[in-house]
Amino acid sequence: MNKSYLAGLLLLSLPAFSQTNPLKTKVSIAADKIESKVIDWRRDFHEHPELGNNETRTAAIVAKHLQSLGLEVKTGVARTGVVGILKGGKPGPVVALRADMDGLPVTERGSLPFASKVKTQYNGQEVGVMHACGHDSHTAILMGVAEVLAGMKADIKGSVKFIFQPAEEGSAPGVEGGAELMVKEGVLENPKVDVVFGLHIWAQTEAGKITYRPGGMMAGVNDMQIIVKGRQAHGAAPWASIDPIVVSAQIINNLQTIVSRNLNITENAGVVTIGSIHSGVRSNIIPEQAEMLGTIRSLSADDEKLLISRIRTIATKTAEAAGAIAEVKIPYSNHYPVTYNDLALTEKMLPSLEKVAGAENVKLIPAITGAEDFSFFQEKVPGLFFFLGGMPKGADPKTAPSHHTPDFFIDESSFKLGVKALTGLTLDYMEMAKQ
């Protein structure tokens, strides 16, 4: 049979399946029933956040829950990750579902009764720890999905691999972690995964809504380090120096021309940001060198190559013109590919999202320049990643506290939709694979 014709049949059949599948009624009832448990799990995780590669308490709770459901469970994956496998009663594909577990070095400022009071050491200093990006929600939602699907194991046409991932927010420089390490350790094998789904709670989208984008949905990211080496001198005699601070300032200004003058912004966005510059110890000493740290964001592999090439050229040549040396390291500590939603998969699964949320509540959005290491899974198998609204209804997205901030807030009424969405995607994909 012609492949395009078959694909058309699948697309036509999915809406009908979404409406008639008897398991959908079971899912809806089970999701309603488990909502309070998901909220309780999330509140517990929120009160006890853990930084990347240190999610030992969280991982233990997840593993115990999966084991109680009768799943095959593996711990210590990519240091602190947990993987659970549910084998359905009928043959079919392997669907992977992913949630990230780590918190951030952010001190919580809200007045929630379950607000975090955790403090730890990070980069040599004491910091607060907070689930300021919603990973506590992701973990709790996926635990709920596991319980719902385990309750209908006999009817499932395939297997489900539940991936609870550490260190999505990154690891220390020189330390592998997160999704990239999970992939290297074979998380998508044994059994081999056919497709992967994931979600991210979104504090600027109203609860009850889902947003998505085919293709490049979130940017690829590289961090960078630029070290400018000059010649030290007394601050009273700047002519005796090669001032790395002045050179760094010139480099920063010149870097701002890359996006505006080299990138075709009608096709994709790009970002070049210097977020840190450090040099010197006192006012009357021109130092020997300066260090800059920054981030590069792009929405295609070609744009990524362009941005990196121009940064290297501008930094080294600007320094050279001043008699200094610039050493550029890209990536410095981490690199995430573009979070790319497989085009065919997104088209096939859109009716499933529309069914659980209502078509009017599923919206196409522009690409965003935030990054997600879910992209490492998508490099290996077709994947779909979407945003789950978590902003209280009626709130203004322009003033709602954003991710990675002390006032970050999530409306817990969104969790039930998250459970239904991931469960629905799993069952619908399995049904399509059988046709």
H/E stretch holding 139 reads helix 135-150
- Work out whether the CA dihedral 148, 372, 14, 10 comes out positive or negative: negative
Do 191 and 47 fall into the same domain?
Answer: yes
Tokens of 276: 């840190």
Rounded mean pLDDT, 375-389: 98
Instruction: Give the active site residues.
Output: 336, 412
219-to-41, 184, 368, 404 alpha-carbon distances in Å? 30, 22, 6, 17
Q: Give the separation between CA 271 and CA 259, rounded to whole angstroms.
A: 7
Sequential DSSP letters for 255-275:
HTHHHHHTS-TTT--EEEEEE
Size (the chain), residues: 435
In this prediction the pTM is 0.91
Residues 203, 244, single domain; the answer is no
137-161 pLDDT, tens digit per residue, is 999 999 999 999 999 999 999 999 9
- Indicate the pLDDT class of residue 21, thresholds 50, 70 and 90: low
Report the 10 Å Cβ neighbour count for 267. Answer: 11
| pLDDT attached to residue 1 | 45
> Any residues with CB less than 8 A from the CB of 384 and at least 6 apart, and which?
195, 196, 197, 198, 212, 341, 342, 345, 346, 349, 425
> Which of 285, 313, 335 represents a domain boundary (last residue)?
335
Within this chain, do residues 42 and 147 fall inside the same structural domain, yes or no? yes
Region 23-32 average pLDDT: 90
In single-letter form, the type of residue at position 183 comes to V
Decide if 250 contacts 427 (C-beta within 8 A). Answer: no
> Do 169 and 41 have their domain in common?
yes
Do 390 and 302 lie in a common domain? no
Same domain flag for 91 and 150? yes
Judgement on whether residues 16 and 105 belong to the same structural domain of the protein: yes
Q: Say which CATH number the domain at 160 has.
A: 3.40.630.10
Specify whether 255 is located in the same domain as 213.
no
Q: Is the pLDDT of residue 19 over 90?
A: no
Strand runs (DSSP E) across 299-414, as ranges?
A: 325-329, 335-336, 339-341, 362-364, 383-391
Per-residue confidence (pLDDT) for residue 435, from 0 to 100: 55
Q: Can you name the residues that pair with 386 across neighbouring β-strands?
A: 199
Residue at which a domain ends, from 335, 355, 378: 335
How many structural domains compose the chain? 2
**Residue 11 pLDDT:** 46
Answer whether 133's CB lies under 8 Å from 123's CB: no
Same domain, 24 and 73: yes
CATH of the domain at 274: 3.30.70.360
* Predicted confidence (pLDDT) per residue in 158-215, tens digit: 999 999 999 999 887 778 899 999 999 999 999 999 999 999 999 999 999 999 999 9
**Euclidean distance between the first and final Cα of the chain, in Å?**
13
Q: Does 117 lie in the same domain as 231?
A: no
Domain boundary, last residue among 335, 353, 382: 335
Q: Are 39 and 139 in the same domain? A: yes
Which residue segment(s) compose the domain that 23 sits in? 3-218+338-434
